[in-house]
Amino acid sequence: MNSELTDKNTEISELTLEDFARLFGTTIDDIPDDCRELIAKTDFRYKKLISDKRKKIILRILKTIDSDSLSVVGAHRMPAWEKGWSENLQNFVDSNFDLNELIPKFVKRNEVIRLNSNYVLPTNKNFETCFVEVLRTYIFRKYFSDAPAVYEFGCGTGLNLVNLAKLFQEKKLYGLDWSTASRDIVNKIAITQKMNLTGILFDMYSPDYQLDIDKGSAVFTIGAMEQLGKNFESFLQFLLEKRPSICINIETIHELYDQSVLFDYVAAKYLERRGYLQGYLTRLRQLEVEGKVEMIKIQRTFGSLYHDGYSYIVWKSKA
């Protein structure tokens, strides 16, 4: 643990099963056994940042927001994603298909995170990855058990699909992304790990209606609609027309930040600076009023340093 960031006297806390249930917006009875096992065997301890340490971290975030080091999302970012995923592809091949090479480089290790309305420093340097593994497992078990096929849009290195394939060997899984390197990684995972998985090129800005979504199947995104900013309507219309049985978006959700509170205000400002997803929840709520979609769940969970990238919305298209 980085001692510069925490006081010696600050108490160490640990996320319990009850905490996970609360963070996922459910009760402990609803947490499946494999999540319980992950929680039991993983180090989920952390220290809250207080007084000067907290001020220091907020200052660091504000300076980053003001700096010119941050990119803004948009169609122009495609080559950057291609380059990033090409490196992961090369490392995956060179390592003889080591699945650890699928962890994206943007997932920071040993970093302060957002948890329970506080900045906290975990003892486990892979806290974010481990938390997401529990969250994914919970969501996949709860909502995808009956779906014969599952589609992840903006799947990147396919690591979420690997997790899903391990939970449900019999399902047909599809990884879609606008990067050819992403498609190639997914297809290499399928061959080397003998998984029922297919990588397909797909641009959410300009959805290909030729793509069939199998009847009864499920759709999800993780940190991918974030990249569409305010230009999510084409993809949303595609989903409404294809009518999967369920859609889950694990994303940063602008409307869920309470901007009268500093902790959330800085996250909203970061999101706006990057041009991340804005207006999506409002649009879904409008479609619900029009009777076109059914909203099933809207839940904040936790976040990495800058924003809550792992809030989730569960919804489905009606009639």
Ligand X SMILES: C[S@@+](CC[C@H](N)C(=O)[O-])C[C@H]1O[C@@H](n2cnc3c(N)ncnc32)[C@H](O)[C@@H]1O
Q: Which is nearer to ligand X, 108 or 318 (CB)?
A: 108
3-state DSSP: the chain helix, strand, coil percent, rounded to 5?
A: 45, 20, 35
Site for ligand X in 257-316 (CB under 6 A): none
Cβ 178 to ligand X shortest distance, Å: 4
Cβ 258 to ligand X shortest distance, Å: 24
Site for ligand X in 114-153 (CB under 6 A): none
Cβ 222 to ligand X shortest distance, Å: 4
Q: Which is nearer to ligand X, 6 or 301 (CB)?
A: 301
Q: Which is nearer to ligand X, 5 or 161 (CB)?
A: 161
| CB neighbours of residue 13 within 10 Å | 16
Assess 249 for contact with ligand X (CB under 6 A): no
| CB neighbours of residue 104 within 10 Å | 13
Distance from the Cα of residue 298 to its chain's centroid: 14
Please pick, from the candidates 182, 299, 301, 317, the single residue that binds ligand X as defined by CB under 6 A: 182
Distance from the Cα of residue 261 to its chain's centroid: 24
Site for ligand X in 216-245 (CB under 6 A): 222-224, 227
Which whole-number Å values give the CA distances from 57 to 111, 254, 272, in the listed order?
A: 11, 21, 19
Number of residues that bind ligand X (CB under 6 A): 19
Site for ligand X in 162-181 (CB under 6 A): 177-179
CA-to-CA distance for 262 and 3, rounded, in angstroms?
Answer: 24
Cβ 283 to ligand X shortest distance, Å: 17
CA-to-CA distance for 159 and 137, rounded, in angstroms?
Answer: 12
Phi, psi dihedrals of residue 220, rounded to the nearest 5° = -145, 160
CA-to-CA distance for 87 and 178, rounded, in angstroms?
Answer: 16
Cβ 211 to ligand X shortest distance, Å: 12
Q: Which is nearer to ligand X, 61 or 155 (CB)?
A: 155
Whether 120 and 47 have beta carbons less than 8 Å apart is answered as yes
Assess 104 for contact with ligand X (CB under 6 A): yes
Site for ligand X in 44-103 (CB under 6 A): 81
Cβ 103 to ligand X shortest distance, Å: 8
Assess 204 for contact with ligand X (CB under 6 A): yes
- CA nearest to 54, candidates 117, 105, 106, 104: 117
Q: Given the structure tokens 């793509």, which residue do they identify?
A: 211
What is the crossing angle of helices 17-24 and 127-144, to 10°?
Answer: 60
Q: Which is nearer to ligand X, 222 or 281 (CB)?
A: 222
Give me the residues that bind ligand X (CB under 6 A), please.
81, 104, 154-156, 159-160, 177-179, 182, 202-205, 222-224, 227
